Structure 1
């Protein structure tokens, strides 16, 4: 996906449906950390057309049956997705997520920055920041989205 298309607030605003979530290493190897996943991303503007709120939720499509009495089951479900919400800002080809509430508490109060590529109804967000699933890093996280209707 090309980064040459100018990204603007109006083009980014709205609802997006997750199509693909992978980690990619420099040698081209990829890993889908949640297996097949589903998700939704929302970028909302205020009445003046400025960034207001954003929210994202990503979850594995296949999760084991939930047993609230089992710590292993609780841990497996906690590791099978993530969600957060807060403010957002767009600077050039980078979008900043100012996290206020998150399923991963250590994200709260942080700024998560993603590189943006927008082409037609497809959005790609990438980062080289390590993920909680693989904290050693060395890969790029890629989330690909398509425009969704609310």
Structure 2
């Protein structure tokens, strides 16, 4: 089943592989910032025994990264800041998906729950949160990640 704008998604609607098409922060005045510039990413929701909770993994990276120099601390830092990844268990409650993180590129995400509001229309999945991001910890914006199958 493909969920529409008015339908509440099911775990089966989310299960599978998704490709990132958009990652932005949006402020109430409509201003947007793409924190990684042109970004690429993949999100995978797996179901255990055909039902949630299941396992999930996500990775998002900037497409435009400089060449990597293993001997340069600055290069290491730039590459670390150019993306993020995490994985863990996931559950769906209404229009909220919970990512219970057990492994992450950012250690402070480990053993935490990251909750995202879900909107599913046709084969486009939009996940949003107003939790501040490590790239911009002052908050005041909504993080929007749009995915397609």
Shorter chain as denominator, the TM-score bin is over 0.9
- 1:135 counterpart = 2:144: no
The TM-score, its normalising length taken from structure 2, stands at 0.95
CA shift at 1:69, angstroms?
Answer: 1.1
Unaligned runs of 5+ in 2: none
What's 2:53 paired with?
51
What's 2:63 paired with?
61
SS in 2 for 1:18: strand
Q: 1:42 to 1:135 in 2, by over 3 A?
A: same
SS in 2 for 1:74: helix
Q: For the residues of structure 2 that align with 1:48 and 1:21, how far apart are their CA atoms?
A: 29
- 1:112 counterpart = 2:114: yes
SS in 2 for 1:10: helix
Unaligned runs of 5+ in 1: none
**1:8-65, Cα deviation, whole Å (9 max, x unpaired):** 1110111000000000000000000000000000000012423310000000000001
Q: For the residues of structure 1 that align with 2:50 and 2:128, how far apart are their CA atoms?
A: 28
- 1:24 counterpart = 2:21: no
Which has the larger displacement, 94-103 or 4-13? 4-13
Q: Is the 8 A contact 1:36 1:60 kept in 2?
A: yes
Q: For the residues of structure 1 that align with 2:5 and 2:31, how far apart are their CA atoms?
A: 22
Count of equivalent residues:
146
The TM-score, its normalising length taken from structure 1, stands at 0.94
